[in-house]
Amino acid sequence: MSSDRWLDDDAGPVVRPYTVTRGRTRLREDGLDLISVLEATGVAVPRRARLDPEHRTLLALCRQPITFADLASEIDLPIGVVRVLVDDLRDENLLRALRPTSTGDVPDEFVLRKLLNGLRAL
Amino acid sequence: MDYVHSDAAVRDTAAATGGDRLIAAKILIAGGFGVGKTTMVGSISEIRPLRTEEVLTDRSVGVDDTTGVDGKTSTTVAMDFGRITLPDDLVLYLFGTPGQQRFWFMWDELSLGALGAVVLADVRRLADSFAAVDYFEERGTPFMVAVNCFDGAERKNPDDVRIALDLDESVPLLLCDVRDRESAKSVLITVVEHVLDRTTARP
C-alpha cells in the first residue's frame, strides 16, 4: 500500500496531536469553557520552566485578553490539546483565566440588552 | 500614528477595568445532520477554524473491524465555529453542535456557559430535531426552533411544526432561510429576546 495515499488534505495532522502534550490528556477540573477569557500574567518565564514552542506561541497570543476558542483557532491545534498546554501555563502562573465562565448559565440582563442592540444594528 | 492612539486606548481601557472588558457570549446552533448549521454560521458570522478530537468508539462500528483494539484512538474533526464582533468589546460566538449521534459527548462541553440555543429544523425531516429539542428541554437551556425553508421545500404552517415537535407555547418558532444574512440575523435576535424575556420574568 502506498503510504502517500493517506496524506491528502483529509488525512489530518501527520504528527499525532497529543505528541505536543507528551501524551497527557487528563486534567484536573480547570473550569475553562470555550468562551473563557485568558490573559498572560506578564510574569517572567522562570528558567526552570520547560516551555515548548507551542507554549510560547500561546503565551504570545494571550498578551491581549482572548477567548479559549479563539486561542485554539489561532494556534490551530485541537481544543483538548490546547486545554493541556493552557493548564501548564496556568501552573507556572504565566496565564490566568479572567473569569471561570464568561456569562455562565445565568445571563446578565445588561449584557443581553447590549447583545440585542448590537445584533439589531448589524 | 493612528494605531499608536488605539494602542493607548486599549491600554487605558485595560487599566481602568483590570483587563476585564472583553465580554464573550455563546449561542449554540443545533439540529440534525445536513440541516444548514454550517450555512447559518457562515452567513451571519466570521467563520473560524476550530478542531476538536473525536474518540473512536462506536464511530466505525459496522464499518471498520476494531475488535481487539483496546487502545483509545482519536482523530480530529472540524467544528462549526463563528464569531460576531459587536460594539463595546462584546463578542458573540456561534457553535454548531455536531449532528451525528457519535458526537453527542461534545454537547455538554458546548452547552456550558451557553446563553441559548437555536434548533434548526428541516420540514422534510422533522424527526431529526427531536433529539436536540429533548436535550435543551431537559437541560433547561432557553432555545428556539428555526425552520429552515430550503428551495423547493413546501412552506409548512408553523403551527403544524409546533404540534409535530410537541413544542411548548413559550418556545419561539420562526421560518427562515439560513443562507440569507438578514434571515439568520432575525433568528439570533429572536433567541436573544427569548433569553431576555426569561431572565426578566424571573422572580
Q: What is the CATH number of the domain that holds B89?
A: 3.40.50.300
Q: Which residue has the higher pLDDT, B103 or B55?
A: B103
The model's confidence at residue B51, banded by pLDDT at 50, 70 and 90, is confident
Lowest mean pLDDT among A2-6, B119-123, B176-180, B198-202: A2-6
CB-nearest to B25 from A12, A79, A111 is A111
The per-residue pLDDT for B176 is 94
The model's confidence at residue A12, banded by pLDDT at 50, 70 and 90, is low
- Is residue B31 packed enough to be buried (19+ CB in 10 Å), middle (13-18) or exposed (0-12)? buried
How many other C-beta atoms are found inside a 10 Å radius of the C-beta of residue B138?
8
- Least Cα distance to B27 among B46, B38, B39, B41 occurs for B41
CB proximity B87 to A under 8 Å: yes
Give the residue-averaged pLDDT of A70-76: 94
| Chain A residues close to B87, C-beta within 8 Å | 114, 118, 121
Pull the grid cell for residue A89. 501555563
- Least Cα distance to A55 among A6, A26, A22, A32 occurs for A22
User: What's B85-138 look like in SS3?
Assistant: EECCCEEEEEEECCCCHHHHHHHHHHHCCCCEEEEEECHHHHHHHHHHHHHHHH
How many other C-beta atoms are found inside a 10 Å radius of the C-beta of residue B63?
7
Q: Is residue B186 part of a domain?
A: yes
The correct answer on CATH 1.10.10.10 for the domain covering A9-120 is yes
Rounded distance between C-alpha atoms, residue B150 and residue B121, angstroms: 11
B96 forms beta bridges with B29
Pull the grid cell for residue B77. 474533526
Query: In chain B, what percentage of residues exceed pLDDT 70?
Result: 72
The per-residue pLDDT for B123 is 86
- Least Cα distance to B171 among B202, B200, B147 occurs for B147
The per-residue pLDDT for A70 is 96
Q: Is residue B14 part of a domain?
A: no
Question: Quick check: B7 pLDDT over 90?
Answer: no
CB-nearest to B86 from A64, A104, A115 is A115
Chain B, nearest residue to A15 by Cα: B75
Range of the domain at B52: 21-201
Question: Quick check: B10 pLDDT over 60?
Answer: no
CB proximity B51 to A under 8 Å: yes
| Chain B residues close to A13, C-beta within 8 Å | 76
Mean pLDDT of chain A: 81
Give the residue-averaged pLDDT of A55-64: 96
Rounded distance between C-alpha atoms, residue A51 and residue A57, angstroms: 10
CB proximity B7 to A under 8 Å: no
The per-residue pLDDT for A26 is 54
Question: Quick check: B78 pLDDT over 60?
Answer: yes
Residues A115/B25, Cβ–Cβ less than 8 Å: yes
Interacting residues of B44 by C-beta distance below 8 A, sequence separation 6+ = A122, B82, B84, B94, B181, B184, B185, B188
Give the residue-averaged pLDDT of B93-116: 80
Rounded distance between C-alpha atoms, residue B194 and residue B146, angstroms: 13
Q: Which residue has the higher pLDDT, B50 or B68?
A: B50
Q: Which residue has the higher pLDDT, B102 or B34?
A: B34
Chain A, nearest residue to B18 by Cα: A98
- How many domains, chain B? 1
Task: Please answer yes or no on whether A79 and B50 come within 8 Å at the CB atom.
Answer: yes
CB proximity B85 to A under 8 Å: no
Cα Rg of chain A (Å, integer) = 18
Q: Which residue has the higher pLDDT, A45 or B78?
A: A45
Coil, helix or strand at residue B78:
strand
Question: Quick check: A39 pLDDT over 50?
Answer: yes
Rounded distance between C-alpha atoms, residue B59 and residue B108, angstroms: 19
What sign has the CA pseudo-torsion A85, A91, A97, A101?
Answer: positive
Task: Please answer yes or no on whether B52 and A80 come within 8 Å at the CB atom.
Answer: yes
The model's confidence at residue A13, banded by pLDDT at 50, 70 and 90, is low
Mean pLDDT of chain B: 79
The per-residue pLDDT for B6 is 38
**Over the stretch B134-149, which tens digit does the pLDDT of each residue have?**
999 999 999 999 999 8
CB proximity B53 to A under 8 Å: yes
How many other C-beta atoms are found inside a 10 Å radius of the C-beta of residue A38?
23
CB-nearest to B22 from A65, A78, A118 is A65
| Chain B residues close to A6, C-beta within 8 Å | none
**Over the stretch B103-113, which tens digit does the pLDDT of each residue have?**
666 788 788 88
CB-nearest to A115 from B19, B192, B200 is B192
Ordered by start, the domain boundaries in chain A are: 9-120
Q: Is residue B27 part of a domain?
A: yes
The string of DSSP codes covering A52-80 is -HHHHHHHHHTTS-EEHHHHHHHHT--HH
User: pTM for this one?
Assistant: 0.79
Task: Please answer yes or no on whether B19 and A104 come within 8 Å at the CB atom.
Answer: no
Question: Quick check: A60 pLDDT over 60?
Answer: yes
Residues A97/B69, Cβ–Cβ less than 8 Å: no
| Chain B residues close to A105, C-beta within 8 Å | 112-114, 141
Distance from CA of B112 to the nearest CA of A (A): 7
Q: What is the ipTM of this complex?
A: 0.79
Q: Is residue B11 part of a domain?
A: no
Distance from CA of A117 to the nearest CA of B (A): 9
